[in-house]
C-alpha cells in the first residue's frame, strides 16, 4: 500500500512539474533575450564610433592627411650632428695607448632627393691580429631627425648611449678586441625610408663581418626601454642575464601587425646576423614632435639601457655568449618578464604540452564533478518540483546532462560571435552613412591633389578656392581647385603661373583673389604675384612685390588695399619691410617697416581698421613675444604691449567683441597650449 500510495501521489506531480519546468525555462529565455539585446545595444554603441574613427585612422597609416614632417637633410642641424659625433669619436679614441686601433670611416651616399649624405663608422680592433675575417658586433643608431623635433628619444638618446659605451669598452682592460671587433654605425636618412642603413648593407665592405648587431631607436624619455625584437628567440637566454628585464614574446609580433619600420628591418634582410632591437612603443606619439625633448627624460632611463647593452656586448666581445650557428628557431622560446625583475622562458613545445594538459585536466574535473553530482542526486530522495526532473524523464540522464552542457556552451559561443559580427557590420554601415547629428564631422569630396602649406579662400559665390601648396616629394604645386559647398565636390580650375607654397591669398573687394610670394624649394622666396578671376577661372600675372618673401602675412584693409608684412627670403634672412597693393592700379608701394623682422607671425584687422601683428621668428632665430600696430591712415607702425609667451606659427582670431585671441604656436622647445587675449 505504501508503494502504491507513493506512486499515486507521484503521478499528478509530474504534470505540475512540467508546468514549473516550462515556466522556469520561459523566464530563462526571456532573461537571455533581454541580456543579449542589452549586449547588442552596448556593442553597437561601442562599435559605431570605433569603426567610424577607424575608417579615418587606417588610411593615415599609409599617407598623412595632415602636414607631414619634413626630413632634415643638408641642413645646419644635420651637419652639426655629424660634426659633433666625429669630434666625440676622435676624443674617445685619442687617449688610448693599448694595441687598439680606431678606424673612422665616412660613407657617402645619395638619397632619393639627390642629397649628398654620410653614414659615420668607427671600427675598434686589435693591431696585433691582422686577420680580415674576424667577426664584428655592431652598435647602431640614426643621427637624423625631423622638422620641429629636438629628437631626444628618436634618436638622440641612442647616440648618447653608444658614445658612452664606446668610451667604457675602449677603456675596459679585460677587452682586447682580438677575437671580436666592435663597429659603431651612425646612420643618416633613417627618417627618409631607411636609406642610410640600406646604403650600408648594399655597399660598405664592413657589412660582411657583422655577426651581431644592436639597433637603438625611439627610446622613451618616460620609461625603461623594451627589447622589441630579436632575430632569434634563442638570444633571449643571453638577455636574461641583464638586471632590468623588459620584454615579452608579444612585442616580437607587434611590428608584424603595425606598419612601422626602423634600421633593424634593413639589417635583417639577408637573415645572416643575430640582432637585438631596443625601443619603446607606448611613448611613440611623442616622437617627431616638439615634446621629444631631453628635458622630459626621467633620471636613470638612459643609464638603464646603457647598463643592459654593456652586459650583452661585453659577453659577445669576451665570447661568453651562446655560440649559435643559425637563426632557425626549430622550437621557439616563449618568454615574458615579471615586474621587470624576472624573465620566464620556456619552449613552445612545452607551452603546447601545458595547454593540452590543462584542457584535459579541466575536462576531467568537469566530468568528475558531474558524475559525483549525478551520484549524489540519485542517492537523495527529493520531490520532482524543479529542473532536476531530467533524472526522471530520460533513461540516461548523465549522458543527456553532458550533451546539454556541450550544446549550451557551443550555442553561447556561436551567439556571441554572431552578435559581435552583426553589430560590427551594422556599425560599418552606420560609419559609411556618418550622420552629422551623431559625430559632428563628416567626410566630403576629396581634392584632386594632395597638398599642404597651401591657401584656401572663400569666394563671393560661396565656393572655396584652394591654390598651390607642397605635395609628396617636396614638389611645389601650381594647380588650383574649387570646392562647391552645395555639392561637396572639388573641381580643378586654371593653374597659377608659378608653383608656390608658404604664400598668401587675399580676396579683394572686386571678388578677385590676389596671391603673393611664397617659395618653390624651401630655400629661396619669390616676389611674383597673380590674380584669380572667379568669373573666368583663370589666373593673370600682376606687378611683382618689391621684396621676395615667404611665410609672410597679407591683410585686406578697409580702403581695399592689401598690406603685406614681413616674411623671409631664405633660411636665415628675415624681413621687417611692408608694402601695399592697390587693386585699382595694380601697383605696389612701400610703406613704413615694422619695428622687428619677423615671419610665421599673425596679422589681424581690428574693428578700428588698424592691423595687429604678433609673434613670429626673426633674424638670429629670435622668437618674439612682441606686438605692433599698423595705422592705414598714417602708414606708421607703433609698438604695443608684449604677449606673455614668445611664439611663432601661432594662430590669431578676431572675436565678436573686438578682442583678438592668439593660440598655440612653437617657442623653440615645445608646442604651446597657452592662449592670450588682446
pLDDT of 18 strictly over 50: no
pLDDT band at 477 (very low <50, low <70, confident <90, very high): very high
The winner for highest mean pLDDT among 61-70, 288-297, 490-499 is 490-499
Distance from C-alpha of 228 to C-alpha of 282, rounded to nearest angstrom: 12
Q: What share of the chain is helix, strand, coil (3-state, %, to 5)?
A: 35, 25, 40
List the chain domain ranges. 2-66+381-439, 76-340, 455-636
pLDDT of 494 strictly over 50: yes
pLDDT of the residue at 3 = 34
Percent of the chain with pLDDT over 70: 78
The winner for highest mean pLDDT among 36-40, 185-189, 572-576, 604-608 is 604-608
Domain made up of 455-636: CATH architecture: 6 Propeller (2.120)
Distance from C-alpha of 540 to C-alpha of 547, rounded to nearest angstrom: 20
Q: Dihedral angle at the C-alpha atoms of 342, 348, 352, 353, nearest 10 degrees?
A: -80
pLDDT of the residue at 509 = 92
Q: Dihedral angle at the C-alpha atoms of 443, 449, 454, 456, nearest 10 degrees?
A: -50
Site of grid cell 695607448: 97
pLDDT of the residue at 586 = 93
The least confident of 42-51, 646-655, 657-666 is 42-51
pLDDT of the residue at 25 = 42
Q: Phi and psi of 157, rounded to 5°? A: -65, -40
Q: Reply yes or no: is the peptide bond before residue 673 cis, omega within 30 of 0.
A: no
pLDDT of the residue at 566 = 95
- Average pLDDT of the residues of the chain: 80
Reported pTM: 0.50
Select the more confidently predicted residue: 452 or 260.
452
Site of grid cell 619552449: 347
pLDDT band at 479 (very low <50, low <70, confident <90, very high): very high
Percent of the chain with pLDDT over 90: 34
pLDDT of the residue at 69 = 44
pLDDT of 64 strictly over 90: no
Query: Reduced to 3 states, what is the DSSP secondary structure of residue 508?
Result: coil
Distance from C-alpha of 601 to C-alpha of 549, rounded to nearest angstrom: 13
**pLDDT (mean) for 420-425:** 78
pLDDT band at 620 (very low <50, low <70, confident <90, very high): confident
pLDDT of the residue at 496 = 96
Select the more confidently predicted residue: 229 or 288.
229
Q: What is the DSSP letter of 460?
A: T
pLDDT band at 267 (very low <50, low <70, confident <90, very high): confident
**pLDDT (mean) for 203-218:** 88
pLDDT of 227 strictly over 70: yes
Q: What is the DSSP letter of 550?
A: B
- pLDDT tens for residues 366-396? 777 777 766 766 666 555 555 545 555 556 6
| Burial class of 674 by CB neighbour count within 10 A (0 to 12, 13 to 18, 19+) | middle
pLDDT of 49 strictly over 70: no
- Fold exhibited by the domain 76-340: Aminopeptidase (3.40.630)
Amino acid at each position: 500500500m505504501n508503494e502504491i500510495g507513493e506512486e499515486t501521489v507521484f503521478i499528478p506531480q509530474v504534470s505540475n512539474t512540467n508546468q514549473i519546468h516550462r515556466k522556469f525555462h520561459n523566464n530563462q529565455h526571456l532573461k537571455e533575450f533581454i541580456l543579449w539585446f542589452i549586449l547588442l545595444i552596448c556593442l553597437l554603441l561601442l562599435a559605431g564610433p570605433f569603426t567610424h574613427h577607424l575608417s579615418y585612422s587606417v588610411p593615415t597609416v599609409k599617407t598623412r592627411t595632415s602636414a607631414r614632417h619634413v626630413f632634415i637633410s643638408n641642413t645646419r642641424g644635420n651637419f652639426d650632428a655629424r660634426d659633433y659625433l666625429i669630434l666625440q669619436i676622435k676624443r674617445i679614441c685619442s687617449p688610448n695607448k693599448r694595441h687598439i686601433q680606431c678606424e673612422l670611416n665616412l660613407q657617402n651616399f645619395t638619397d632619393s632627393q639627390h642629397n649628398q649624405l654620410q653614414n659615420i663608422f668607427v671600427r675598434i680592433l686589435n693591431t696585433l691580429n691582422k686577420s680580415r675575417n674576424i667577426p664584428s658586433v655592431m652598435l647602431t643608431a640614426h643621427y637624423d631627425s625631423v622638422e620641429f623635433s629636438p629628437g631626444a628619444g628618436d634618436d638622440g638618446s641612442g647616440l648618447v648611449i653608444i658614445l658612452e659605451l664606446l668610451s667604457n669598452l675602449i677603456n675596459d682592460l679585460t677587452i682586447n678586441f682580438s677575437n671580436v671587433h666592435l663597429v659603431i654605425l651612425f646612420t643618416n636618412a633613417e627618417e627618409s625610408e631607411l636609406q642610410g642603413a640600406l646604403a650600408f648593407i648594399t655597399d660598405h665592405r664592413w657589412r660582411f663581418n657583422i655577426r651581431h648587431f644592436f639597433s637603438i631607436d625611439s627610446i622613451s624619455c618616460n620609461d625603461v626601454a623594451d627589447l622589441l625584437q630579436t632575430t632569434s628567440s634563442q638570444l633571449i637566454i643571453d638577455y636574461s642575464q641583464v638586471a632590468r628585464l623588459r620584454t615579452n614574446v608579444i612585442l616580437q609580433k607587434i611590428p608584424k601587425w603595425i606598419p612601422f619600420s626602423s634600421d633593424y628591418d634593413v639589417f635583417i634582410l639577408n637573415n645572416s646576423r643575430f640582432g637585438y632591437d631596443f625601443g619603446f612603443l607606448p611613448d611613440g606619439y611623442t616622437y617627431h614632435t616638439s615634446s621629444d625633448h631631453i628635458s622630459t627624460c626621467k633620471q636613470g632611463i638612459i643609464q638603464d639601457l646603457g647598463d643592459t647593452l654593456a652586459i650583452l656586448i661585453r659577453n659577445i666581445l669576451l665570447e661568453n655568449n651562446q655560440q649559435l650557428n643559425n637563426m632557425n628557431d626549430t622550437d621557439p622560446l616563449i618568454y615574458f618578464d615579471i615586474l621587470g625583475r624576472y624573465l620566464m622562458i620556456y619552449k613552445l613545445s612545452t607551452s603546447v604540452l601545458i595547454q593540452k594538459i590543462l584542457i584535459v585536466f579541466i575536462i576531467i574535473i568537469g566530468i568528475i564533478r558531474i558524475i559525483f553530482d549525478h551520484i549524489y542526486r540519485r542517492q537523495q530522495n527529493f520531490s520532482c518540483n524543479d529542473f532536476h526532473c531530467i533524472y526522471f524523464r530520460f533513461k540516461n540522464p548523465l549522458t543527456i546532462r553532458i550533451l546539454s552542457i556541450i550544446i549550451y556552451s557551443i550555442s553561447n559561443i556561436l551567439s556571441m560571435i554572431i552578435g559581435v559580427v552583426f553589430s560590427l557590420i551594422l556599425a560599418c554601415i552606420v560609419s559609411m552613412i556618418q550622420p552629422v547629428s551623431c559625430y559632428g564631422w563628416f567626410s566630403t569630396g576629396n581634392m584632386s591633389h594632395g597638398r599642404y602649406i597651401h591657401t584656401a579662400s572663400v569666394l563671393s559665390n560661396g565656393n572655396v578656392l584652394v591654390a598651390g601648396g607642397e605635395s609628396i616629394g617636396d614638389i611645389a604645386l601650381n594647380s588650383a581647385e574649387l570646392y562647391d559647398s552645395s555639392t561637396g565636390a572639388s573641381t580643378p580650375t586654371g593653374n597659377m603661373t608659378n608653383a608656390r607654397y608658404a604664400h598668401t591669398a587675399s580676396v579683394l573687394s572686386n571678388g578677385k583673389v590676389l596671391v603673393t610670394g611664397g617659395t618653390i624649394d624651401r630655400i629661396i622666396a619669390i616676389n611674383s604675384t597673380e590674380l584669380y578671376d572667379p568669373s573666368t577661372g583663370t589666373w593673370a600675372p600682376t606687378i611683382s612685390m618689391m621684396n621676395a618673401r615667404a611665410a609672410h602675412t597679407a591683410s585686406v584693409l578697409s580702403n581695399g588695399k592689401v598690406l603685406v608684412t614681413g616674411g623671409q627670403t631664405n633660411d636665415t634672412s628675415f624681413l621687417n619691410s611692408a608694402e601695399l597693393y592697390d587693386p585699382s592700379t595694380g601697383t605696389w608701394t612701400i610703406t613704413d617697416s615694422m619695428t622687428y623682422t619677423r615671419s610665421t607671425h599673425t596679422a589681424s584687422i581690428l574693428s578700428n581698421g588698424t592691423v595687429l601683428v604678433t609673434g613670429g621668428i626673426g633674424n638670429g632665430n629670435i622668437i618674439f613675444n612682441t606686438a605692433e600696430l599698423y595705422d592705414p591712415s598714417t602708414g606708421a607702425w607703433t609698438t604695443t604691449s608684449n604677449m606673455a609667451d614668445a611664439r611663432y606659427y601661432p594662430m590669431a582670431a578676431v572675436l565678436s567683441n573686438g578682442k583678438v585671441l592668439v593660440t598655440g604656436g612653437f617657442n623653440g622647445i615645445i608646442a604651446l597650449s597657452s592662449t592670450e587675449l588682446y
